[in-house]
């Protein structure tokens, strides 16, 4: 997940597709399916006063726009935000010095949007 060439190879389903990240996805989904059954039985998380679970099940324009922007950013850069931030500690990743400011700029634009166009 921290190698952009591997991620872009996985996303390139019409070209030289690399399905190896399916194992990462499968492992994450398996752990989540098992662990959430136990975690959500607790009255509250270990480090927070209460669970914060989404209540809306609506598929609306903000959700779709956000998903498209997230996917476009990931596909164009090859970096998912979490691994991208983790790679700041690794030497030799100059492109991250463009990715991370763009990530924070996108977050700032979202906050401005929400301030001027509240739901």
Torsion region of 17: left, alpha or beta (phi above 0 gives left; psi -120 to 50 gives alpha)? beta
Q: Residue 105 — very low, low, confident or very high, per pLDDT cuts 50/70/90? A: very high
Domain limits, the chain: 4-116
- Cα-trace Rg, the chain: 18
Read off the DSSP letter of residue 17.
Answer: -
CA atoms in the 13 A half-sphere facing the CB of 7: 17
- Structure token digits, residue 63: 């959700």
Write the pLDDT tens digit of every residue in 71-84.
Answer: 888 888 888 888 88
Write the pLDDT tens digit of every residue in 17-54.
Answer: 999 989 988 999 999 999 999 999 999 999 999 999 88
């Amino acid at each position: 997940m921290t190698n952009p060439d591997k991620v872009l190879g996985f996303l390139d389903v019409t070209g030289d597709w690399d399905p190896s990240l399916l194992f990462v996805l499968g492992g994450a989904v398996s752990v989540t399916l098992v662990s959430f059954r136990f975690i959500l039985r607790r009255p509250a998380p270990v480090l927070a006063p209460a669970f914060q679970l989404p209540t809306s099940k609506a598929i609306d324009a903000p959700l779709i726009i956000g998903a498209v922007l997230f996917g476009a950013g990931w596909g164009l850069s090859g970096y998912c935000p979490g691994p991208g931030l983790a790679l700041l500690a690794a030497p030799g990743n100059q492109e991250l010095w463009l990715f991370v400011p763009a990530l924070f700029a996108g977050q700032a634009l979202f906050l401005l949007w929400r301030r001027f166009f509240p739901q």
